[in-house]
Structure 1
Amino acid sequence: MTHSIRPGEIMLDAQGNRIHIHGGSILTADGRYYWYGEDKSQSTPASGRWHSGVRAYRSADLLTWHDLGTIIPAEPDAPDSPLHPEAMMDRPHIIRHPTTGNFVCWMKVMHADGKQRSWVYQAERFEGPYRLVRPGFEPLGMSAGDFDLVVDPETGRGYYFFERVHSELICADLTEDLTDVTGTFSSHFPHPHPPFVREAPTYFRHDGRHYLITSGTSWYFPNRSEIAVADDYHGPWTVLGDPHRNDTTGTSFHSQISSVLTLRNGRHIALADRWLPDMPDDVIRRSWEATEAQFTGGTPDPEIDAFVQAGAPDTSSARHVWLEVRFEDGRPVIDWQDAWNPEVEDR
């Protein structure tokens, strides 16, 4: 039995099997935690599989995880489906409708035409079966990349934070059924091109204020995170800087945050992926300049370019980095911890 979270180490389920889900989130329901994400168990360069569907686990304590299997299976016999194993489906997010109790799953898919579209599924039970309710579309006519979903606990209104690809971050209001956007939106953090464009938006709330953690845009290479605060979902947002205050590598402890879970005791856990566990930090640091050079006509980095041109890395080897988001003097910070227990107060 696992007695603590150990960031960066291989995570095993209750049966001793490696947990492969990534780009994930944790949903709480009926007193249990449900962790779900992209099944990367077979996503090696040789396999050609981008994903094996959406997999999920259940836990009572965030330490012992029981495998629920695939809740949204891959569709190997449907070449045009976003769930085909070779389709570039990323970052599924599931929210629960506060009135109907339905589970609504959004996912982004990178299509062959270069556009990134949103696909929406729905189920009456978390474990499924999920049915497609809104096929691939561009919300607000925009190519939508990494995203997060929020349901306000008081009003029941839904919000969709997404990266308008290579441009800015958008906050859009969701329709009452949480399956589409209404047309009301706001734009934030505009940048001319990667790696400065903010992606992987991750929302959480603390003491009534709204927080967003984002990363820069440098492919699978990790970079410095930014955290911003606002008094409303639509801002204005004030950037507070990188919360990883003791990370001298500038790589967010060699990871990218995909979601933040707020516990019953008020503590916050940042769930992150270490996509390139074997990549040296000195190579990763060069990736920022290499990405900037790609969009500004600068001098390319042959080693970085060769790695990117080779295609998706072996994401089946990716690891998890779970760390606490603490507040000190009103500011959020993420410090490294070799081992910690989320249910035990250690402050």
Structure 2
Amino acid sequence: MRTKLIITLFTLIVSLPTNVIGKDHSKKFHPGALWPDNKGIHINAHGGGILYYKRTYYWFGEYKSDTTSAAMVGVTCYSSKNLLDWTNRGVALSVSDDENSDIAKGCVLERPKVVYNQKTKKFVMWFHLELKGNGYSAARYGVATSNVVTGPYHFLCSGRVNPNVYPINFSKDDSISIRNQYSNLISLKWWTPEWYDAIKKGLFMFRDLPGGQMARDQTIFVDDDNKAYHIYSSEDNLTLQVAELSDDYTSHTGKYARIAPSNMNEAPAIFKKDGIYWMITSGCTGWDPNEARMFMARHIMGPWTQLPNPCIGAESKITFGGQSTYILRVEGKKNAYIFMADIWRPKHPSDARYIWLPIDFKAGRPVIQWRSEWQLDYLNK
């Protein structure tokens, strides 16, 4: 009888669903390794972000094909209760078979981020969009919404940011100077000291003023007061900008600021702790990894101050081979944040890997150290 009981208990244990087994404290994150979903397939949600909604985490990211980084499917969604075991919830936003659509199959659709609007009860997705067949010249944002967290999301529009609106931190003197000297300054040789100085003073911002500011690598941040902000690489990736969103999170209000002009930043990831905003970015080296940058501010519109690379240890100079995409605040834990990054593999895009690492705080500043494996319990300390 005892033997039969033992066999029965063993059968029950091995047949438990993976999301239950995932709660076992022995389960660990393995940065850079293959990360199988509930079907045993490597998670395909690159350049992504996380939304926490009704006690569940939802991971949205780019679906990457085997041979191209163009968007042939769209944005995928995965769900999890424990951040380790992920269930494939399908395609949240599909690219279109209509060649006239802004999101036609074969366009560039990158870095999707989804936020929930408490007022409208809608889920809002923002992403970087490049029109099919036009390289990276469009430099647009895209917006889609859904009544259901997993979708389907319905594409609303795409465009550039705040046409004919000056940033709030653009001086009147610089405005007059750029207007008077524009024709001469635009012909300056790139990468010279004079050219960098002109960019810093707003040369490319002024150039793009009529049609709106460029918007490439991007993220969305919802503040404590439910105000939302769009942070993106602009001015040919030379300058970051942060723009306030409307109350329904689907458009810009016209209020925006420039960050680190002429310093070449992309891949922004932002979080807030104890009233201070922290942002981690990368330099601009294509698919190749580089040294992470970090900025801090006491107001999201700035001024922002650059600090040393938050990564420490081996390969910290190349962000452990990855590039930032999102910083996740873990629910139910105090001051618990996870740095999320992508290890890009342009020759086999679907095999791109994920780096998730805990953020420590030393002398009040974020620090990210490589760990080949770690447990979520580490964030309990």
TM-score, structure 1 as length reference: 0.83
Residues 310 and 367 in structure 2, CA contact (< 8 A), matched pair in contact too: yes
Q: In structure 2, what is the equivalent of residue 118 of structure 1? A: 141
**Aligned partner of 1:272: which letter?**
A
Structure number with larger C-alpha Rg: 2
Secondary structure of the residue aligned to 1:149 is strand
1:286-335 deviations in whole A, cap 9, x for unaligned? xxxxxxxxxxxxxxxxxxxxxxxxxx532112111111111011111100
Tell me the amino acid that sits aligned with residue 374 of structure 2: W
**Residue 222 of structure 1: SS of its match in structure 2?**
coil
Residue equivalent to 2:356? 322
C-alpha displacement of 1:12: 0.5
The Cα of 1:149 is off from its aligned counterpart by 0.7
* AA in 1 matched with 2:340: L
Q: Give 1:62's aligned amino acid.
A: L
**Aligned mates of 2:314, 2:247 — CA distance in 1:** 41
Cα distance in 1, alignment partners of residues 268 and 72 from structure 2: 21
Distance in 1, matches of 2:128 and 2:319, equals 24
Pairs within 5 Å for 1:1-347: 3-40=27-64, 42-45=65-68, 49-75=70-96, 77-111=97-131, 112=134, 114-133=137-156, 135-140=157-162, 141-153=212-224, 155-164=225-234, 165-191=236-262, 196-248=263-315, 250-264=317-331, 265=333, 266-276=335-345, 313-345=347-379, 347=381
Question: Cα offset for 1:227?
Answer: 0.9
- Return 48-57 or 28-37, whichever deviates more: 48-57
Q: In structure 2, what is the Cα distance between the partners aligned to 1:251 and 1:85?
A: 33
Aligned residue identity for 1:326 = D
Q: Is the 8 A contact 2:93 2:154 kept in 1?
A: no
> What TM-score comes out, normalization by structure 2 length?
0.76
8 Å contact from structure 1 (residues 272, 320) kept in 2:
yes
Distance 2:32 2:63 in 1: 18
Higher percent of residues as helix: 2
| Aligned amino acid, residue 324 of structure 2 | I
Provide the C-alpha distance between the structure 1 equivalents of 2:252 and 2:377, rounded to a whole number of angstroms: 36
Aligned residues: 302
Q: Write the letter of the residue equivalent to 2:119.
A: T
The 8 Å contact of residues 82 and 89 in structure 1, kept in 2 or not, is answered as no
Q: Which amino acid aligns with 1:184?
A: K
Letter in 1 for 2:341: A
Moved more, 92-101 or 20-29: 92-101
* Alpha-carbon distance, 1:68 to partner: 0.4
Q: Deviation of residue 78 (structure 1)?
A: 1.5
CA distance in 2, matches of 1:166, 1:147: 11
Counting aligned pairs with the same residue, the percent is 30
Does the residue aligned with 1:121 lie in a helix, a strand or coil? strand
**Structure 1 segments unaligned to the other structure (5+ residues):** 277-311
1:345 is displaced (CA, Å) by: 4.2
Q: CA deviation at 1:146?
A: 0.8
Compared with structure 1, are the counterparts of its residues 344 and 242 closer, same or farther at alpha carbon in structure 2 (3 Å cutoff)? closer
Give CA-to-partner distance per residue, 1:99-155, whole Å, 9 cap, x none: 22210111111231712111111111111222222x2211120111111111112x2
The answer to whether the 8 Å contact 1:146/1:201 transfers is yes
**Cα distance in structure 2, aligned partners of 1:15 and 1:241:** 41
CA contact (8 A) 2:322 2:355 kept: yes
- TM-superposed CA distance for 1:51, in Å, is 4.0
Query: 1:161 offset after TM fit, Å?
Result: 0.8
Q: Secondary structure at the match of 2:376?
A: coil
SS of residue matched to 2:350: helix
Residues 204, 345 of structure 1: alpha-carbon distance in 2 compared, 3 angstrom cutoff? closer
By how many angstroms is 1:85 displaced? 3.1
Deviation at 1:166, TM superposition (A): 2.6
Q: 3-state DSSP class of the match of 1:161?
A: strand
Name the structure where strand makes up a greater proportion of residues.
Answer: 1
Contact 1:203/1:210 (CA < 8 Å) preserved in 2?
A: yes
**Rounded Cα–Cα distance in structure 1 between residues aligned with 2:356 and 2:316:** 18
Residue 74 of structure 1: how far off its partner (Å): 2.7
Q: Which amino acid aligns with 2:241?
A: I
- 1:249 Cα shift? 5.7
Query: What code does the residue aligned with 1:250 have?
Result: K
Return the alpha-carbon distance in structure 2 between the equivalents of residues 43 and 49 of structure 1: 10
Cα RMSD, aligned residues only? 1.7
Deviation at 1:157? 1.1
